[in-house]
Amino acid sequence: MTEAMDVLIIEDEMLLAMDIEAMVEDSGHRVLAEAACLEEVAALPADIRPQLAFVDLHLARGSNGIEVSELIRQRWPDALIVFVTANVSKIPDDFAGAHGVIAKPFSHSGMVNAIRYLAQAALAPPPSAPLPSSLTTAPNLERRWAAA
């Protein structure tokens, strides 16, 4: 892969956000911004263009990943959204418009494999790599590839 993705990390646990950031950067991609709640996502600059967003379900200030997913889809409709949560059962059947989920706790290799797969999904869909076991994809992801 020659191109790097621009990534958002929406996570209210600072140490976990730092771990995800390190894995994204170690995989050759850029973290554009981190946010801990809906208000911080809304305050991000309008001119950024994330290709991937990792979003926790339970966020600071009473906000949640479902709201953040909706905002990301409005502001950056081309971005892939992946929930990263210990509460997989709280994700609606339609994934609230998101494209996948990685269950917490996750392993370093599981996250790196998911990032590699998602990079192909964002930059050269559909991915040629096999779907990693750490990532569950939403049905709308394959519909997105069919439309590409």
Is residue 27 a part of any domain in this protein?
A: yes
Is residue 106 a part of any domain in this protein?
A: yes
How much is the pTM?
0.95
Task: Give pLDDT tens digits for 72-94.
Answer: 999 999 999 999 999 999 999 88
Is residue 127 a part of any domain in this protein?
A: yes
Residue 145 pLDDT: 77
Is residue 130 a part of any domain in this protein?
A: yes
pLDDT of 50 > 50? The answer is yes
pLDDT band at 1 (very low <50, low <70, confident <90, very high): very low
What range defines the domain where residue 31 resides?
Answer: 6-147
* CATH assignment of the domain containing 76: 3.40.50.2300
24/114 Cα distance (integer angstroms)? 10
* Whole-number percent of the chain with pLDDT over 70: 98
Instruction: Return the number of other C-beta atoms located less than 10 Å from residue 64's C-beta.
Output: 17
Domain count, the chain: 1
Is residue 52 a part of any domain in this protein?
A: yes
Task: Give pLDDT tens digits for 110-132.
Answer: 999 999 999 998 888 888 889 99
108 exposed, middle or buried (CB, 10 Å; 0-12, 13-18, 19+)? exposed
Is residue 63 a part of any domain in this protein?
A: yes
Is residue 42 a part of any domain in this protein?
A: yes
Is residue 1 a part of any domain in this protein?
A: no
Name the strand (E) or helix (H) holding 99.
Answer: none
